Amino acid sequence: MNPRILGWLFGGLCCAIGALTMIYSWDSGGADIALSHGRVGWDAVGDVGPNGNFMYAVGALLLGAPTLIYLNATQWRNTGGY
């Protein structure tokens, strides 16, 4: 298999996993965010912060995004230019 195809797959999977993990990497002090907001309203916004999954999400995005940016920036070489 072409190494560039593997790079596209790796970068895409890393970005997708990082984005989906980022959605669930926030909590409000051990309680569900929706329950905290339902109980105390917008006063709970100050308690919202990253949980343990946050670093995994950032790591996946930091691996995937540069890979995709590099492959996209050098793709014209493989097509013979414009």
Rounded to 10 degrees, the C-alpha dihedral 38/40/45/50 comes to -70
Residues 71-81 have a mean pLDDT of 81
Strand partners, 49: 27
> Is the Cβ–Cβ distance between 1 and 40 less than 8 Å?
no
Give residue-wise pLDDT tens across range 12-69.
Answer: 999 999 999 998 888 876 667 777 666 666 666 777 788 889 999 999 999 999 999 9
Determine the pLDDT at residue 25.
87
Determine the pLDDT at residue 69.
95
> Is the Cβ–Cβ distance between 58 and 18 less than 8 Å?
yes
pTM of the model: 0.77
DSSP letter at 79? T
Determine the pLDDT at residue 28.
75
